[in-house]
Amino acid sequence: MCKTTLHSNKELERFKAKLASESELLKATAAFEHAALRPLYLLNGGALIAFMALYGAIVRTTDTCVQIDHPWAKGAMVIWTIGLAFAVFVTVSAYCSQFAFLKHIRRKLEADKASDDDNPHTAGEKEGEATCWGDKGKKHRRWAMGFWLASITLFIIGVAVACFSLSNIHRLP
């Protein structure tokens, strides 16, 4: 085989590797969203909607056996709303993380290409950029995990506050 054919075959393999890695990262992003993000929205959003319905039903009826402590009830709703906001931050951080990891892989492939083309200066630059993007991806992933933990914690705190707001239960005569 001639040198040109070997070079074009190597380019084709590099392109296939790039597409395969990007495809796998996009699949991983979708799997992450479904596995980690859905519970945050369902827990905080579901609790908020269910408690608002309960709150409205209790406030409208006067002959109920449940008294509601309004400041605590409103506090629970605010806590769940903040939990939803943290879920949005998780989504944004996870997206930024996957974007940075995509850039990391692209720069690594470009560094490999520059190394194959006997261009050590460009290869070193691309390798440095790849490292930088990898570090950014790790940083965003840590932020996403922190926001995820905060959102789950806020859900639990909201449940406790909501239960406390309903603690004045008595029987009607």
Domain boundaries, the chain: 3-168
Q: What is the pLDDT of residue 170?
A: 54
Question: Taking residues 39-52, what's their average pLDDT?
Answer: 92
Question: Taking residues 148-155, what's their average pLDDT?
Answer: 96
Q: What is the pLDDT of residue 47?
A: 93
Q: 114 is written with which tokens?
A: 């520059």
Q: Are 161 and 146 in contact (CB under 8 A)?
A: no
Q: Are 126 and 107 in contact (CB under 8 A)?
A: yes
Q: What is the pLDDT of residue 159?
A: 95
User: pLDDT tens digits, residue range 49-70?
Assistant: 999 888 888 777 766 666 777 8
Q: 125 is written with which tokens?
A: 């630059």
- As a 3-state breakdown, the chain gives helix, strand, coil percent values, each rounded to 5, of 85, 0, 10
Q: What is the pLDDT of residue 61?
A: 75
56-81 in b/e form (b: 16+ CB < 10 A) is eebeeeeeeeeebeeebbebbbebbe
Residues 6+ apart with CB under 8 A from 65: 169, 170, 171, 172
φ and ψ of 103, to 5 deg: -60, -40
Q: For the whole model, what pTM was predicted?
A: 0.75
User: pLDDT tens digits, residue range 74-104?
Assistant: 999 999 999 999 999 998 998 898 889 888 8
More confident site: 4 or 74: 74
Q: What is the pLDDT of residue 62?
A: 64
